[in-house]
A and B are shown apart, each in its own frame.
Chain A
Amino acid sequence: MSTAHNKVLQAKDVRQLEGRKAMMALIRRDLRLAFRTPGQSLNPVAFYLMVASLFPLGIAPERETLSQLAGGIVWIGALLAVLLSLDSLFKGDNDDGSLDQLLLSPHPLPLLVLGKIIAHWLTTGVALIVMAPILALMLHLPEQAFPALMASLLLGTPLMSLAGGIGAALTVRVQRGGVLLTLLSLPLYIPVLIFGTGAVQSAVDGMGYSGHLLWLGAFLVMGLCLAPIAIAASLRIVVDG
């Protein structure tokens, strides 16, 4: 009997590629990793809180000043927190050899990468969104702007995970690549920041903000389509060297 030889044949005939399953398994794995090291995964959130509380101390605690700046502060805080968390997006997998296994998987790499990004968003982006209204309250953001803030963050944080993933992939083998990662990601974040804070500011001024959200949504769709491909290509290139 030759089971392994049969395996060769099976490889083509029987075993249907189940990429979605692999992606879900990867998401589950990364979520488990995050939940089992809560100290590490809460770092960006703590950072977020600290950055946002520095602004009143550094500028002015007056209600009028802060309420004008609140949207921008919450957004910049979220942006910096995402940047901070990106450094470890692929580093852990690179350090223990899992990245090689990811690249050698028969499943489409962009799909697996998308799984990693989704897990990253679920562990950081969602936490930032949950924290945002608390910070907005502390910074006296006018009430009518809360829905705009939440909606813009809901669209903006996954976009930042996607776009930042490119920089994270390109710098995964770079020693102390944190600053470089920031430099590569910031230009990609500027449109997100503009439309995100724009939405909040419009709401503060009592104007419509659906236009901003639509643009953010359009960017998100574009990011979902292009970023996983760019990240997958970057990973293959960087691991090759």
Chain B
Amino acid sequence: MNWTFFHKLGSPKWFYEISGKWLPWLAILAALMMATGLTWGLLFTPPDYLQGNSYRIIFLHVPTAFLASAIYVSMAIAGAVTLIWRIKLADMALKCMAPIGTSFCFLALLTGAIWGKPTWGTWWVWDARLTSMLILLFLYFGVIALRGAIRSATTQARACAILTLVGVVNIPIIKFSVQWWNTLHQGSTLKLTEKPSMAPEMLWPLLISIAAFYLFFTVVLIIRLRTEILDRERRTKWVRNAVEAGARS
């Protein structure tokens, strides 16, 4: 296999250049899809026959919940790359993904809680999904706090990589045990998101929102990464030149 591409991908400078070209297009696409998915879901779909209009929260809740888990897994992959190939860019990605993942995890929890009020009549239910989401939030806090507690950038990178790897091994165990615990304690209640079959007029806007949120994540990740690259590579000539060029243009 030709590793040149891989190495190129790992070069902060190359990434900075290429992402600068892609960013506007990705941003536009994300904005368009987000607007489409959410407006469609909010205004144009019929209400759910059981939950009424409150189910419209799904178009926010499901994408953010998906993303919250997916981002943690991506962080673990970035962590593995950091440990194995020591690619700086992977650690930067790990660092930049953490706050985004945390914010989505937080949003998923909040939307879940608000959704619970009309559905279950209470703001918080120790439902298996919400509980695992809460623990995922702790996992995110841990990664961010650990990075904050360590001074050396190299140590930060490798320590956080280990922590996310441990966390990602732990996630399925947590999900499984919380599910087990949940079935023991409160039988099967009305599930928030698992529908036997979703009507296509509800499914389409949901799929579009999910894709839109993934795109949005990519866009804000790139923005954060570009800043992080400038910060960490500030001693290089190309960063100084890029910053000056940005100032003039």
Contacts and interface: CB of A to CB of B under 8 A. Distances in A.
| Direct touching of A and B (C-beta under 8 Å) | yes
Interface of A: 166, 170-171, 173-174, 177, 180, 183-184, 186-188, 190-191, 194-195, 198, 201, 215, 219, 226, 230, 233-234, 237-238, 240-241
A190 B174 contact: yes
B142 A184 contact: yes
Contacts of A170: 146, 159, 162-163
Given A183-B142, A188-B170, 15 more contacts: A180-B146, A184-B142, A184-B146, A184-B163, A187-B142, A187-B170, A190-B178, A191-B174, A194-B177, A195-B177, A230-B165, A230-B166, A237-B155, A237-B159, A240-B154
Given A170-B162, A180-B145, A194-B177, A238 B170 contact: no
B173 A238 contact: no
A190 B155 contact: no
B169 A226 contact: yes
Interface residues of B, number: 30
Interface of B: 135, 138-139, 141-142, 145-146, 149-152, 154-155, 158-159, 162-163, 165-167, 169-170, 173-174, 176-178, 180-181, 184
B169 to A, nearest CB: 7
B177 A237 contact: no
Contact of A194 (B149, B163, B169, B180): B180
Contacts of B177: 190-191, 194-195, 215
A180 B147 CA distance: 11
A108 B151 CA distance: 28
Contacts of A233: 162
B155 A198 contact: no
16 contacts: A166-B166, A170-B159, A174-B150, A177-B149, A183-B138, A184-B146, A187-B139, A187-B142, A187-B167, A191-B177, A195-B180, A198-B184, A219-B173, A230-B165, A238-B155, A240-B158
Q: Which of A177, A187, A190, A201 has the most CB of B within 10 A?
A: A187
A174 B166 CA distance: 19
B193 to A, nearest CB: 22
Contact of B149 (A166, A180, A191, A215): A180
A240 B152 CA distance: 9
Given A190-B174, A237-B159, A240-B154, A198 B138 contact: no
B161 to A, nearest CB: 8
Contacts of A194: 177-178, 180-181
Given A180-B146, A187-B167, A237 B174 contact: no
Contacts of B184: 198, 201
A67 to B, nearest CB: 18
B150 A183 contact: no
A170 B157 CA distance: 12
A170 to B, nearest CB: 5
A195 B180 CA distance: 9
B226 to A, nearest CB: 26
A230 B162 contact: yes
Contacts of B162: 166, 170, 230, 233-234, 237
Nearest to A205: B184
B146 A241 contact: no
Nearest to B135: A187
Nearest to B131: A190
Contacts of B176: 191
Given A194-B180, A226-B169, A238-B155, A171 B142 contact: no
Given A190-B177, A198-B184, A241 B151 contact: yes
Q: Which of B138, B142, B165 has the most CB of A within 10 A?
A: B142
